[in-house]
Amino acid sequence: MINLGQIGAGLWGQNLLRNFYNLKDCRMKICCDKNKAVLENIKAQYSGGVEITDDFDDLINDPLLDAVVIATLPVTHARFAIKALSAGKHVFVEKPIALNVDDAKEMIKAARRHKKILMVGHLLLYHPAVKKLKGYVNEGLFGEIHYLYSTRVNLGQVREEENALWSLTAHDISVAIYLLGQKPIEVSVTGKSYLRKDVQDVVFVTLTFKNKVMSHIHASWLDPYKIRKFTIVGSKKMAVFNDMESTEKLRIYDKGFDWAKKANYGTYETFLTVREGDINIPKIDMVEPLKLECQHFIDSIKNNTRPLSDGENGLEVLKVLAAAQKSLETGGQPVKIS
């Protein structure tokens, strides 16, 4: 049995707490939050099951705790994670891993030094539809992937500290890196603030990968529709993953262009023909992705294995975000990703 403590049980933290609480091979022992109302709510919901505190040191000093889950705002992630890792606890930290590259590197070093698991909440990597897509990519179903694009918009939670880039795009960046199996080399971003000064509500991010592969992300919390959609365009097939669909989340299109040859007065001309083939809707076992993510953390601890979204993966995504922020500040100038 893995004993867990969690810091931060706000809007998202509540979901993590519920999932960890319901897993069989771990116990959510104690929850810390600085907001009394949040703690009272936890006490009422998990009566007798989860201890509450407003002091993080109660988690750090608890010898029974194996791991700490961090779901506070990103500005605090590094501080809490390094403290927990240094106290010999495994750490699950929400995305983004941190707000600057140096902090993330310190977190990774602390995990290595203390031989503890550090996992970042790149939730979509655990989504059954994304797993399915990755399988197809590995089989070569799409042929050469030309480009991907994703839309993550709604009339949603407006953040005060982070802009839409930092708040919304980590998932799309992590999925692009995962599916393409490579890191982007350059990023360019445009965006605008409408609701408050200097906090961009909408961003358009373009990532450039090797071999002309491109990925585009439109993210906004100021939009009439809630859309969570990825499109992959390959030389052989195309796919759309629509997370707003309740059942048929993934569609594989046998669409594209083929080259054909036509006799023309003794010579052959090549020309493009449109291919409009079948649409395949693969069956996907729908389990809550967050449950799978939480289970992956527990399994990584139990088996001492590297999580899919480990600290290095968190750092890769953070490097993209940091370069993207630079680009945003310079009106969309392309910025190389180190």
Ligand X SMILES: NC(=O)c1ccc[n+]([C@@H]2O[C@H](COP(=O)([O-])OP(=O)(O)OC[C@H]3O[C@@H](n4cnc5c(N)ncnc54)[C@H](O)[C@@H]3O)[C@@H](O)[C@H]2O)c1
Provide the binding-site residues for ligand X, judged by CB under 6 A. 7-13, 32-35, 38, 56, 71-74, 76, 94-95, 121, 123
Residue 95 vs 116, nearer CB to ligand X? 95
Shortest approach of ligand X to residue 95 CB, angstroms?
6
Minimum CB–partner distance for residue 114 and ligand X (Å): 22
Q: Which is nearer to ligand X, 184 or 314 (CB)?
A: 314
Shortest distance, CB of residue 157 to ligand X, whole angstroms? 7
Residue 170 CB, nearest approach to ligand X (Å) = 7
CA angle 140, 182, 249 (to 5 degrees): 55
- Report which of 247, 248, 244, 252 is spatially closest to residue 135, judged by C-alpha positions: 252
Closer to ligand X by CB, 232 or 317: give it: 317
At how many degrees (to 10) do helices 170-180 and 128-139 cross?
30
Q: Which is nearer to ligand X, 11 or 287 (CB)?
A: 11
- In whole angstroms, how close is the CB of 211 to ligand X at the nearest point? 30
Minimum distance from residue 37 beta carbon to ligand X (Å): 9
List CB contacts of 24: < 8 A, sequence separation 6 or more: none
Q: Beta partners for 118?
A: 91
Task: Take residue 206 and report the two structure tokens written for it.
Answer: 């373009």
CB of 333 to ligand X, least distance (A): 26
Of 69 and 238, CB closest to ligand X? 69
Nearer to ligand X, 56 or 253 (CB): 56
- All residues at 6 or more sequence positions from 317 whose CB lies less than 8 Å from its CB, including other chains: 95, 96, 97, 120, 122, 170, 173, 174, 177
Cβ atoms of 124 and 96 closer than 8 Å: no
The residue among 8 and 234 lying less far from ligand X, judged by its C-beta, is 8
| Beta-carbon contacts of residue 119 (< 8 Å; ≥ 6 apart) | 90, 91, 92, 93, 296, 297, 300, 307, 309, 310, 311
Q: Strand order of the sheet with strand 202-208? A: 267-280, 250-264, 238-242, 222-234, 145-155, 214-220, 202-208, 186-192, 335-336
Q: Which residues contact 51 (CB under 8 A, 6 or more apart)?
A: 29, 30, 31
